[in-house]
Copies of this chain bind each other. A is one copy, B any other.
């Protein structure tokens, strides 16, 4: 039995924590500065409260970081500053380069480091969502997650490979969804949305599928902005164009106000997508 600390257990973090618990480990979180919603989630998942991150770092042999990508480096820095000497597992959606920087932060003061990622939604059962782990201590880290609902899998290669996989998977899934939203936004602005729907009914995705893609992504769009920026950096680091995901970040930025909305409708989404259209551009259009 290990003592595992989960930093910032949001919805996905709670699924990670539950997997660790199901795998026979004692699982902790740190309530200091966290929201009532996170508290309630931690209580329901049956996590033990270490109070502070500092205390967690004393209790736990393994600490797992799960947070939006823009906070990943700061979170690791906090652990590094505590001179933590256990195993730190970073599961965040960051570029390989950033995860290597993060590894540097935590290993400089003595911690072990595993690069990981999560692909899929917070799962109801097994076979839905995967944790990929890589680096020298990846097999060790996989021992935290043997019984689901998340499935852990070790991949080859050093630190950076799990993050690279996440970047590529997400570049496709979230990039496609953003591109589709942009096409609907443009078609709406150009006055050809119905014509596009008719042509798509002949050869293309059904319009319903495109609309569903917006409905699913819009409530989570705020979280995707930084992730798209990580993908831009990843793609450009290997000479692939970063433009697709610069566009995707912009689309998700426009959809960010749907945070928490259960199911935005198409008219609302198109309105949001086009709210950022500047008067200059509208004038340009009228030319």
Tell me if A175 is interfacial: C-beta within 8 Å of chain B.
yes
Assembly CA distance A248 to B128 (angstroms): 31
Tell me if A261 is interfacial: C-beta within 8 Å of chain B.
no
Contact with A190, one of B100, B196, B199, B234 (Cβ below 8 angstroms): B234
Contact with A185, one of B178, B183, B240 (Cβ below 8 angstroms): B240
Dominant secondary structure at the A interface: helix
Tell me if A157 is interfacial: C-beta within 8 Å of chain B.
yes
Residues A237-265 near B (CB distance < 8 A): 237-244, 246-248, 250-251
Give chain B residues whose Cβ lies under 8 Å from the Cβ of A278: 239
Q: How many copies does the complex hold?
A: 2
Question: Are A285's CB and B189's CB within 8 A?
Answer: no
Question: Are B169's CB and A196's CB within 8 A?
Answer: yes
Q: Looking at the assembled complex, report how far the CB atom of A201 sits from the nearest CB atom of chain B, in whole angstroms.
A: 12
The 9 tightest CB contacts between A and B, nearest first, are A239-B277, A243-B247, A189-B238, A164-B190, A241-B247, A244-B247, A243-B243, A239-B281, A168-B187
Instruction: Tell me the A residues contacting B by CB distance below 8 Å.
Output: 96-97, 100, 119-120, 127-128, 130, 132, 155, 157, 161, 164-165, 167-169, 171-173, 175-176, 178-180, 182-183, 185-187, 189-192, 195-196, 199-200, 202-205, 234-244, 246-248, 250-251, 273-274, 276-278, 281-282, 284-285, 287
26 A-B residue pairings within 8 Å (CB atoms):
A96-B190, A97-B287, A100-B287, A119-B203, A132-B195, A157-B192, A161-B190, A161-B195, A164-B190, A165-B196, A165-B199, A167-B186, A168-B187, A168-B196, A169-B204, A171-B183, A171-B186, A179-B244, A186-B238, A236-B281, A237-B285, A238-B274, A238-B282, A243-B246, A244-B244, A244-B247
User: Given known contacts A169-B196, A189-B238, A238-B277, what 14 new A-B pairs fall within 8 Å (CB)?
Assistant: A164-B190, A167-B186, A168-B183, A168-B186, A169-B200, A175-B179, A178-B244, A179-B244, A182-B241, A185-B240, A237-B285, A239-B282, A241-B250, A244-B248
